[in-house]
Amino acid sequence: MSRRTAWQLIGAGLLAMAIGIPGSMVLPDGWHVLLITATVLAGLAFFIGVAGLASQKWILVPAFIAAAFGPIILAVIGHDALLGTYGTPEQCTLRTTEEHRTTKHPSVDHVLDCPSGEQEITTAWSERLRAQQATVLTLPPFRPMLAETTSFSLGLLAAIPVAMAALVITAGAVRKES
């Protein structure tokens, strides 16, 4: 692969991830998974670019791991970190729930009445609300989330971009030696 094509793939992959990751934090439940999937495909363009730039087999595994799992980790943990750090906690009352037990991944759709208006939150079955009151973190335009489910690691959040930058630098250095 030519050096120019490799850099174009790296740039296009990074640009698409920079657009898709914040976009997935804004879209409603269900739709954000579609955008995360597209962002993973953009990560694979980054992977192909890094692999083509380095032209060494040993870089394939770390580049693939960073490109395939990096966007997912950044989207999910980034959303938790943003709302956990900057979100406004609101005391909300549970209005209705709709249980989806028969699906492969059981979940519950909650409709809550909050001071800022109605909020719809989907949770895994194991994280469903058991009380009529809940604390919801809101930060428009991001999807709201339950305060009880907020857990994130800033170290992991920072490690993904650092690893991707290190891969590009390493691939460029290996290419120059060849």
Does the pLDDT of residue 163 top 80, yes or no?
Answer: yes
Exposure letters 54-72 (e unless 16+ CB within 10 A, then b): beeeebeeebbebbeebbb
- Kindly tell me if the per-residue pLDDT of 178 is higher than 70: no
Structure tokens at 132: 């009529």
Identity of the residue numbered 17? M
pLDDT tens string 16-45: 999 999 888 888 777 888 888 899 999 999
- Collect all residues with Cβ–Cβ distance below 8 Å to 122 and sequence separation of at least 6: 29, 30, 107, 108, 109, 110
Residue 142 corresponds to which amino acid?
F
On whether the CB atoms of residues 157 and 74 are closer than 8 A, the answer is yes
* pLDDT tens per residue, range 105-133: 888 889 999 998 888 888 888 888 888 89
Peptide bond into 115 cis (omega under 30): no
